[in-house]
Structure 1
Amino acid sequence: MSVRKRRCSDNVFRDLGFSVEESENLKTRADLMIRLTKILEDRRLTQTEAAKLLNVTQPRISDLVRGRIDRFSIDSLVEMLGRAGVRVSFVLKPAKKVA
């Protein structure tokens, strides 16, 4: 039996078969969610305290920490990060050509 190696991209969502555009959107949202969750953990906030800080409901924080990416837009995550005292900036680069 031979082992076939498959070349992976730097975007797990692309590797899972999402379109280039959707995979970039998902990766951006995932990165923002991870950063926001880490901030809340570092501050040792309860979900209720985090909800108050971010001006959202506690169930919204639950969705965040559970990684429910489908429930968050980039815009909503940037707003919450701003309320947490984080300035978000993006680096724009030309897209890589995909075969």
Structure 2
Amino acid sequence: MPRSHGRSGYRWRKARATLMAEAPDVCHICGHSGGANEADHEPSLKTLEALGLDPCDLRFLRRAHGTWFRCPVCDRACNQSKGDRELPPAPRSSRAW
């Protein structure tokens, strides 16, 4: 499988541009705003392909910080640190903050 499978060509560029134009500039991994200029697959690209789902579908794309645009708050390349793993569920709090 090519390294950029599902992340090249006109359909991918169009989906990514639509995500950047419509979704708020908040990283879905760390929750910080500003500079979330990469598109991340949620669930992972590997899972989407295994289920036969379209990786260019906006329902499965989220904004994230990446190598070129690291998080200005925590200085993480969130998309690369997540890799192809699924995000763990958010921890439950005993309070409604």
Specify if TM > 0.5.
no
Q: Which has the higher contact order (CA 8 A, sep 6+)?
A: 2
Higher helix proportion (structure 1 or 2): 1
Larger of the two Rg values belongs to structure:
1
Higher strand proportion (structure 1 or 2): 2
